[in-house]
Amino acid sequence: MTTSIIGFPRLGEHRELKFSTEKYWRHQITADQLQQAARDLRLKHWQLVKAAGIDGIPSNDFSFFDTTLDTATLLNIVPDAVDALDLSPLDRYFALARGYQGDHGDVKALPMKKWFNTNYHYLVPQFTATTQVKLVGSKIFDEYQEAQDAGIQTRPVIVGPFTLLSLSEFHDCQPTDFVTDLVAAYQTIFARLAAQGADWIQLDEPELVKDVTGTRRELFKTLYDQLLTQKSGLKVLVQTYFGDVRDVYTDLIHLPIEGVGLDFHEGRKTADLVRSGFPADKTLFAGVVNGKNIWRNHYAQTLALLKTLPVQRLVISTSCSLLHVPFTVANETFPAPVKQHFAFATEKLGELTDLQANLAGQKTTAFAANQALFAQPRVQPNPKVHDRIAHLTADSFTRQPALAQRAKIQQREFQLPLLPTTTIGSFPQTRDVKRTRAQFRKHEISQADYDHFIGEHIKEWLKWQEDIGLDVLVHGEFERNDMVEYFGQHLDGYLFSRNGWVQSYGTRGVKPPIIWGDVARNQPITVKWSTFAQRQTDKLVKGMLTGPVTILNWSFPREDISQRESTIQIALAIQDEVLDLEKNGIKIIQIDEAALREKLPLRQSDWYSEYLDWAVPAFRLVHSRVQPGTQIHTHMCYSEFTDIIPAIQNLDADVISFEASRSNLEILDALQREHFQLQVGPGVYDIHSPRIPSVAEITTTIHQILAKVPEQKVWINPDCGLKTRGVTEAKASVANLTAAAKAIRAEL
């Protein structure tokens, strides 16, 4: 019995890779210097994993941006336009990841999407009819060699062919067109690695935890039947994660491979599947240490589980790559009683070897300490929170009166024109704004000076909103660093790490807050600045909150209570805030659910039963007690909800704004088809680009919307918050938006 990990964080303990890469982008260091920094990090990480006593050490899990992109470039899946730029391999790679504009030409970046149910993003490979799949790169071989030269035997990792094809986009062609070439390319990789001295290869196939039936299952079988005819003596590990492989378990364990990697955390059925039988000649890589969360493993439970598995060859592993957790707890300053509950990537290595020792029959002190840790209650429950939850009834989740009646009352009260205009909440976070917030955080300026600064900013932007004639104003969110962290900092039950960075995409990290205990609000959070803003103007100012599902999804959740329960706690806290805003004269309140779609289960059959059936009620709980005359808005970042429209409708908000500028017609058709009842603000221009949309362009978009949605139900707004935009472009764009809305209104 041995230990292994699926992958290790790449950015480095102190995000060294981020800083080196960004320096290279700014032309402050050379390509050679960047490559050297990357080599140093890889070596440090291999040595660290090895020194921790882990047997199965991956290589090629490193990436300058994303491993799916690495696989695409390795296999020549690169758009012609990028090849035509004639850049160095490294610059061509970054051109694919980030776009390129310069002496060599102008190309857009590849599309980027969320990696399964995580907040990590991958670049979407683009296949066209002219794509010639073949092995053209050498990264996987170079990195294997690099480790070997350092005396470390590694298991090279690559995205498997089924996952690669499943995640890619196909233009005038289809996945099956590429099977033969793809199989040949992977077989060449096998042969070269074997010649270099590798014994194992790991093919990452997380797609296998989704629904794999019909043609998808056929594709999987075709790929692997062909691929495994020539392994060049390599042992093949097919590694899955983020769920269980119930649709293909039998297919998988009967493949002529040597290792199967399964996730025992998110894979609810994994243990049962393995108990139903596992071949004696194969090795199970059992993902029992959670790669996605930051809590200590419960050794006794894990050992009990492992002992029930009828497996002869066992490798103790993580449930997914450690990419999704921060580097180490060592640099954190939590008090010891708190800190002992956390295991980040480095500490999880120790957990694997602890488990190995104990499974082998040693009674270690680490095991005793772990038992003691779990024997003590970790947190004191908050009786008030539990009491409130115990008293919730069906009525607590239902707002009265019904949507249509509320709409009439609100219209009478607000007297808004047709096609009311508004924005999504934030205005540009200029360097000035960020610097002042940082100074305040470090106590370099006083509360009074800080408040003065924020107040002046709000006034200035309110005046501008009035000048251009927006109908519903916002205060601009200048006091917020981030839409989740800001709320977490004002809620009981939350903890914040100092250095708990997790890669989100490329060089970008996020530092998810940690839900430590029962969540409750002990004082108003947004009332001060919302009411300040409302006092400055006769127009309506929208209050701005983050919804409970998004707050949960962008935090590290507890494992001792369900995510559902944590979300209900957060919902009650935000409900308090909603009612306080209302009491203080805020008539329109927007509750953002930017990340609602993100944690939708990977299997469609689980969407409602495992998620939406509690996520939607949690949102309803937040606003169920407001007066009929208070208007509730919500905002979602992606318009990718054509398939969950009944759930969105069921949020029972009065108005929803969403990102639609890139896929307008599709979502509008779906709204029409499904008789969507809420008022809607399909974003009329793309805020993710610095381009300023003209009045004519926005006018066209509004006409397209009006062709599908009744005019009484349409709001006009950008498609997301403006915090990442420059001041000039933000102002010009929104001014054009109001001009377009006014012109059309005059025609109606």
Residue ranges for the known binding site for Zn(2+) are: 635, 637, 659, 720
Burial zone of 372 (CB within 10 Å; 0-12 exposed, 13-18 middle, 19+ buried): exposed
Secondary structure (DSSP) of 437-454: HHHHHTTSS-HHHHHHHH
With residues binned 3-state (H G I as helix, E B as strand, rest as coil), the percentages for the chain, rounded to 5, are: 45, 15, 40
> Is 594 a binder of ligand GLN (CB under 6 A)?
yes
Rule CB under 6 A: is residue 544 a binding residue for ligand GLN? yes
Contact call for residue 424 and ligand GLN (CB under 6 A)? yes
Q: Which residues are annotated as a binding site for 5-methyltetrahydropteroyltri-L-glutamate?
A: 15-18, 114, 119, 554, 598
CB 715, min distance to ligand GLN, A? 15
Which residue, chain included where needed, has tokens 């210097």?
33
8 vs 658 by CB, closer to ligand GLN: 658
Determine whether 688 is an active site residue.
Answer: yes
Residue 721 contacts ligand GLN per CB under 6 A: yes
When the beta carbons of 621 and 720 are compared against Zn ion, the nearer one is 720
Closest CA to 199 of 160, 250, 237: 237
Q: Which is nearer to ligand GLN, 682 or 721 (CB)?
A: 721
The binding site consists of: 15-18, 114, 119, 424-426, 477, 554, 592, 598, 635, 637, 659, 720
- Whole-number Å distance between alpha carbons of 318 and 5: 6
Establish if 591 lies at the interface with ligand GLN (CB under 6 A): no
- Considering only residues 716 to 745 of the shown chain, the ones binding Zn ion according to CB under 5 A are 720
CA angle 221, 227, 229 (to 5 degrees): 105
Q: How crowded is residue 261: how many other Cβ atoms within 10 Å of its Cβ? A: 26
DSSP 613: H
* 426 Cβ contact list (under 8 Å, min separation 6): 474, 476, 477, 480, 721, 722, 723
| Contact partner at residue 512 from Zn ion, ligand GLN, none, CB < 5 to 8 Å by partner kind | none
- Least spacing, CB of residue 417 vs Zn ion, in Å: 24
Spatial separation of the C-alpha atoms in residues 341 and 82, rounded to whole Å: 47
CB of 475 to Zn ion, least distance (A): 17
Task: Report in angstroms how near the CB of residue 734 gets to ligand GLN at its nearest.
Answer: 12
Minimum separation from the CB atom of position 667 to ligand GLN (A): 16
* Cβ-based neighbours of 153, under 8 Å, separated by 6 or more: 57, 147, 197, 199
CA distance linking residue 734 with residue 422, whole number of Å: 9
Which residue, 594 or 622, has its beta carbon nearer to ligand GLN?
Answer: 594
Residue type, 101: Q
Tell me if 314 sits within 8 A of 289, measured CB to CB: no
The answer to the question of residue 596 lying near Zn ion (CB under 5 A) is no
Q: Which is nearer to Zn ion, 291 or 683 (CB)?
A: 683
- The H or E element spanning position 384 is helix 383-390
Region of 155-163, 264-272, 421-429, 521-529 interacting with ligand GLN (CB under 6 A): 421-429
Please pick, from the candidates 56, 259, 425, 548, the single residue that binds ligand GLN as defined by CB under 6 A. Answer: 425
- The answer to the question of residue 599 lying near ligand GLN (CB under 6 A) is no
The amino acid present at 568, given as its one-letter code, is: I
Task: Tell me: does residue 433 bind ligand GLN (CB under 6 A).
Answer: no
* Residues contributing to the annotated binding site for L-homocysteine: 424-426, 477, 592
Please identify which residue in 483, 502, 570, 647 interacts with ligand GLN, judged by CB under 6 A.
483
What are the residues binding ligand GLN (CB under 6 A)?
Answer: 424-426, 477, 483, 544, 592, 594, 635, 637, 720-721, 723
What are the residues binding Zn ion (CB under 5 A)?
Answer: 594, 637, 720
